[in-house]
Amino acid sequence: MKKLTIKKTHHRGKLVFMLLFEKDFKLINLCKTIGARYSSSHKGWYVLANKKNIDAFKDTFEQTTQLTWETDKSIEKNKNKPENWVKGVCVNPKHEEHLESFILFLKSKRFAQSTIKNYTSALRLFLNFYADKNVSELTLDHVIRFNNEYILAKRLSSSMQNQVVNAIKKFFLIVKNSRIDIEAIHRPRSEHKDPNVISKEEVKQILDAPRNLKHRAMLSLIYACGLRRSELLNLKPIHVDSKRKLLIIKQSKGRKDRVVPLSLKIIELLREYYKAYRPKEWLFEGQKAGNQYSPTSLQKVLKRAIKKAKLKKPVTLHWLRHSFATHLLEAGTDLRFIQEILGHKSSKTTEIYTHVSNKAIQNIKSPFDDL
């Protein structure tokens, strides 16, 4: 009789059953019939760890194969730790099944991939806090307790708390027999923080720092057009309309398209970059042609530029976007145009830049001068 070891372990942020056996084409075909996929890192076939697949093993393998069940030691070691959510794993396999349904629901509603990732991570945080309970047992009191004993106890941000609330609300809308009153889940009071802005001189120091033409072009385009990081990385060569002096942003935040004006100076820089690198699919590609430039690498580019420019401020990519908007406002650009360029849904979002604009503040005469 053939031998098959079923090992419960983690793979790509999920709890899976890894099917381990000596190479056998009949067993490989049986693995395929239950929807198993091959992992080159684990050198074995795997399926999600849930009751449905346990039943599938019994129906498919039990009569012809000797099954041995194992559990990865790391699972036993960490089973009571709520922090497992960071690895993308639900401690309770039953919770993982509910999470899969939640992901399908979000996909059917056409939520952005980043939103799906954030919501599922936030929901895992909540479900792992109650790993010993069934979803049907959870009530509003459990949500309040989780908020006090985890979110507040660990001093997590209000934005993180808000994200968890959003995830819980959407999750329980699709779970039957829920005893949670969705509308009774309160959100945290919103924080009002001014955007971080640096001067034009500091921006120039950062943009002049990279010797690499691609690095300089990426950072310059973020500031010159007020782009988000994802917007820059999702650009393709066809999105640069040099004749009309426009940059076309496709399916950005909120699944909206918009156009942004391009100055002659940035067009010349992009032409120089294009001649040197000849990107195939994405405007900015990684080391391999056709591969999108990674967000982590872009952050490292900025970090090196800041260090070379000898700036002590913790500048991020989004600071360049904030600085672009503030500098436009200080130059007299109408707030409505800035709203369109940045792709803000509400004018209230754009109005935050009036709080940090130096132009209005510097024109205020201090009563001290009249003494």
Q: Which of 7, 95, 321, 327 is catalytic?
A: 321
Q: Which of 170, 239, 318, 355 is catalytic?
A: 318
Instruction: Show Cβ contacts of residue 156 under 8 Å, excluding neighbours closer than 6 positions.
Output: 150
Give the Cα separation of 203 and 320 in Å (integer): 7
For the question of residue 3 being annotated catalytic, the response is no
Q: Which of 42, 169, 170, 228 is catalytic?
A: 228
> What type of residue sits at position 281?
E
CB 1 within 8 A of CB 67: no
Give the Cα separation of 227 and 295 in Å (integer): 14
CB 25 within 8 A of CB 19: no
Give the Cα separation of 349 and 341 in Å (integer): 13
For the question of residue 344 being annotated catalytic, the response is yes
For the question of residue 321 being annotated catalytic, the response is yes
For the question of residue 179 being annotated catalytic, the response is no
CB 292 within 8 A of CB 280: no
Q: Which of 94, 250, 344, 355 is catalytic?
A: 344
For the question of residue 38 being annotated catalytic, the response is no
C-alpha distance across the termini of the chain, in Å: 100
Structure tokens at 341: 């360029």
Instruction: Show Cβ contacts of residue 215 under 8 Å, excluding neighbours closer than 6 positions.
Output: 301, 305
Range 158-166, long-range pairs (CB < 8 A, 24+ positions): 158/188, 158/189, 158/190, 158/191, 159/191, 160/122, 161/187, 161/188, 162/187, 162/188, 162/190, 163/118, 163/119, 163/122, 164/122, 164/123, 164/125, 164/126, 166/119, 166/122
For the question of residue 253 being annotated catalytic, the response is yes
Active site residues per annotation? 228, 253, 318, 321, 344, 353
